[in-house]
Amino acid sequence: MRPGRGEKDGPCNCVLRGIFRACHARFRECVSKGSYVSRVSLEHCRGRDHRYMYSRKTEDYMADFTLISRRTLEDEDYKLFRYHFLLGADWRLCCRFLKMDRGNFFHTVYRIEQKLGRAFREVEPYGLYPLDEYFGGRVNEHPKVAVMPIRGERRPRPLRPEVRKTA
């Protein structure tokens, strides 16, 4: 934390960029797994009924990551974010496509990382960061989380009675 304007303390910009980089690394990990490795988890929902719900954490995380980014950034910044962070284009290709020079590209990247780092940490009611809380590593009331892997589609086998051969 560092002293800010008006007697308010705030996190340093390098901390916000670190939060974004941790969230982006987890996003890339989720994307690299593919949809066939996805797991359905059974979680306890806090509320009056105390029921359980099923969720796919990797798909939820990827959707939250992209939606929060889209809502937080302006159109020009989101264009650069999409090409560089989501599609994986290097700085040379982004500079050529977006008609920017190298210095402006990296200044914009740092500004995007700071904005999104703050947004990922402060989004309500549940932030994307810390990652262990998002993915159910630490649940406050009920520590047990059942994780069930998804299997491929299985059709039930038809019942066929044994046929006796008669002589």
* Mean local confidence (pLDDT), 29-36: 79
Give the type of residue at 160: R
Give the pair of three-digit tokens for residue 3. 């002293």
Rounded to 10 degrees, the C-alpha dihedral 48/51/56/60 comes to: 0
Q: What mean pLDDT is reported for the chain? A: 79
Dump pLDDT digits (tens) for 37-92: 667 777 766 666 667 777 778 888 899 999 999 999 999 999 999 999 999 999 99
Nearest of 131, 17, 16 to residue 65 by alpha carbon: 131
Annotated domain spans of the chain: 15-149
Residue 123: exposure state from Cβ atoms within 10 A (0-12, 13-18, ≥19): middle
Q: Which residues contact 10 (CB under 8 A, 6 or more apart)?
A: 1, 2, 4
